[in-house]
Structure 1
Amino acid sequence: MDRWVALLRGVNVGGAKVAMADLRRLVAGLGHDDVKTYLQSGNVVFGSTVRDAEALARGIERAIADELGLSVPVLVRSGRELAAVAGGNPYADREDDPTRLLVAFLATVPEKSAVTALTVPGGENVAFTVTGREVYLHYPDGGYGRSKFTNNYLEKQLGVVATTRNWRSVRALAEQAAP
């Protein structure tokens, strides 16, 4: 059985409201084991014999739609993928404050032309690295909350669905999903 992490976009942070108890119940109801949520923002760690991340994401999206009446994008990463993300942050050695480091998880690999064209809005000091389906973000002068280089901005510029987590959450989820 593999360990997986489902990341719901926009849940309980200005978007759809989903109780974590309901989310655990829905994911367990799909036949997955050892279902745990992390924080209140739509992070679910679980075990499953299903080996197709897209099928897992579609199943969770459908269950949320059917049972809660909400349309919520779900991105799924394996425990191994999340461990690689947690171990591959190019900014981790430059920053002691984990609130200034984030990872935007992308539903698909963006077009190369979109990645090449991606720039930080004028006047902002943000470093970013796009690696496959992740964007590592570093906000050395302050927090993500004051920036225009946000999840919505990334989605618009890259043309893909994204959901962003802070570095503390990424590390905690990677630890919980470790094989």
Structure 2
Amino acid sequence: MESYAALLRGIMPSNPNMRNDKLRAVFEGLGFENVASVLASGNIVFRTADDPADLEDRIQQALATELGIPGGTIIRSHRELRDLIDRDPFEGRTHQPSTYLTVTFFKDTMREADTTAFDTDPLTRVIGYDPAARAFLTVIDNSVGKTPDFMARLEKTYGKNITTRTWLTIQRVVNKMT
């Protein structure tokens, strides 16, 4: 039996169908064990012996059917996330209110290694792409009171089969999986 994290795209806790209790119920209904939520932004951890290749589609179909959630589902195993943390791609930087360390997970692999979409944005520093985790790593400067148009630029460049989490959230997810 393996531990997994489902990183759900587009979850808004103010929507009654997107609350943690309803999300967990869908996962439990699929027969997964040790289902738990991490924060209120679409992070569900669970254990299963099912084939990981089918998990994303099964979960997304159940979320759409039962709760009307059309967004994307991206799955990562405990090992994949733990290995990412152990690699320390942010080289000891600390996530804080003025500096967000972000991880954008791709459903498959990054379409292209081109990160030039962020070259003109002085508030976004590209750390790189981690192929093992299928994740794009960036540091967002929030110290100037202006939020960069980061999410829109990500979607325009790479499409919607992605979801972004802070480094702190990834650490919390991994801690909940153990």
State TM-score, norm by structure 2: 0.85
Q: Counterpart of 1:95 in structure 2: which amino acid?
A: T
Amino acid at match of 1:69: G
- Over residues 32-65 of structure 1, what are the superposed CA-to-partner deviations in whole Å (9 max), with x where a residue is unaligned? 000000111100000001131x411111111111
Whether the 8 Å contact between 1:110 and 1:159 is mirrored in structure 2 is no
How far, CA to CA, are the matches of 1:145 and 1:22 in structure 2? 35
Paired with 2:82 and 2:141, the residues of 1 have a C-alpha distance of: 24
**Matches of 2:93 and 2:31, distance apart in 1:** 41
| Alignment counterpart, residue 126 of structure 1, candidates 124, 127, 131 | 124
Aligned-residue sequence identity (percent) comes to: 27
1:149 corresponding residue in structure 2: 150
**Which TM-score applies when normalising by structure 1?**
0.85
Superposition CA RMSD, Å: 2.6
Find the counterpart in structure 2 of residue 116 from structure 1: 114
Count of residues in correspondence between the two structures: 174
Q: Distance in 2 between matches of 1:170 and 1:136?
A: 12
> How far off its partner does 1:21 sit?
0.4
**Is 1:138 aligned to 2:139, yes or no?**
yes
Runs of 5+ consecutive residues of structure 2 not aligned to the other structure: none
Aligned CA distance change for structure 1 residues 32 and 100 (closer, same or farther; 3 Å): same
- 1:73 maps to what in 2? 72
Pair 1:170-2:170 in alignment:
yes
Is the 1:101–1:137 Cα contact (8 Å) retained in structure 2?
yes
User: Please, which moves more after superposition, 119-128 or 163-172?
Assistant: 119-128
- Over 3 Å counting, the alpha-carbon distance change for 1:10 and 1:145 in structure 2 is farther
Report deviation, 1:149. 2.2
Runs of 4+ in structure 1 off by over 3 angstroms are 13-17, 140-145
